């Protein structure tokens, strides 16, 4: 099963990029994994309202979602998982025989309704507010952790 994290905007901080690359490299032991970044349009449409920005971002997100058969939006109103709970959810998706699962991180205004309507589920990383660039490393680390739990590897200590 292909797993992708699709993120709106580029990661500029070198230390975040390095962390993401490290976990992405580790993920390759468990199957196909990719990190995809779509352009952040907030500055391009600086004078536009948030709905216009989300609509324009949705066009680029939709292109990145081609071939995805299960979509998880990282959203503050989503379900909160424990690490073991997330590993169980990933295992359920694997058993279903899905070809491509994507975790989508939106822009600063969230998701356009056209993208929200495509989502199979919403996942919240907690009730705290985090910068979108940090969400990327948190998400890839938790997906990696879920795979180590499924394989019974010692990375996770309950």
Question: pLDDT tens across 77-105, in order?
Answer: 999 999 999 999 999 999 999 999 999 99
Closest CA to 5 of 140, 129, 135, 145: 140
Q: pTM for the whole thing?
A: 0.93
> Can you tell me the mean pLDDT for 1-22?
94
Residue 119: is it exposed, middle or buried by C-beta count within 10 angstroms (0-12/13-18/19+)?
middle
pLDDT, tens only, 58-78: 999 999 999 999 999 999 999
Residue 158, pLDDT score: 72
2-150, superfamily in CATH?
Answer: SPOUT methyltransferase, trefoil knot domain (3.40.1280.10)
Report the SS3 class of residue 46.
coil
> Can you tell me the mean pLDDT for 36-61?
81
Give the sign of the dihedral formed by CA 61, CA 134, CA 116, CA 82. Answer: positive
Closest CA to 93 of 70, 113, 77: 70
- Can you tell me the distance from the alpha carbon of 5 to that of 24, in angstroms, rounded to the nearest whole number? 10
CA 4 to chain centre: 7
- Can you tell me the distance from the alpha carbon of 5 to that of 56, in angstroms, rounded to the nearest whole number? 19
List strands edge to edge, sheet with 121-124: 33-38, 2-8, 100-105, 70-80, 121-124
Residue 26, pLDDT score: 96
> Can you tell me the mean pLDDT for 121-128?
94
Least confident span in 29-33, 38-42, 136-140 = 38-42
* Residue 131 pLDDT grade (very low, low, confident, very high; cuts 50, 70, 90): confident
- Give the CA angle between residues 106, 107, 111 to the nearest 5°: 55
- Can you tell me the distance from the alpha carbon of 56 to that of 35, in angstroms, rounded to the nearest whole number? 21
């Amino acid at each position: 099963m292909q797993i992708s994290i699709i993120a709106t905007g580029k990661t500029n901080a070198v230390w975040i990029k390095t962390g993401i690359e490290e976990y992405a490299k580790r993920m390759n032991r468990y199957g196909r994994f990719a990190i995809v970044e779509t352009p952040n349009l907030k500055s391009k449409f600086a004078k536009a309202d948030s709905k216009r920005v989300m609509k324009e971002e949705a066009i680029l997100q939709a292109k990145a979602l081609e071939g995805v058969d299960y979509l998880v939006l990282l959203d503050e109103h989503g379900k909160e998982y424990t690490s073991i709970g997330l590993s169980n959810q990933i295992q359920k998706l694997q058993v279903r025989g899905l070809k491509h699962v994507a975790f989508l991180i939106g822009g600063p205004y969230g998701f356009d309704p056209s993208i929200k309507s495509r989502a199979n589920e919403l996942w919240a990383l907690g009730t705290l507010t985090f910068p979108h660039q940090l969400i990327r490393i948190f998400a890839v680390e938790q997906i990696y952790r879920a795979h180590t739990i499924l394989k019974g590897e010692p990375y996770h200590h309950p």
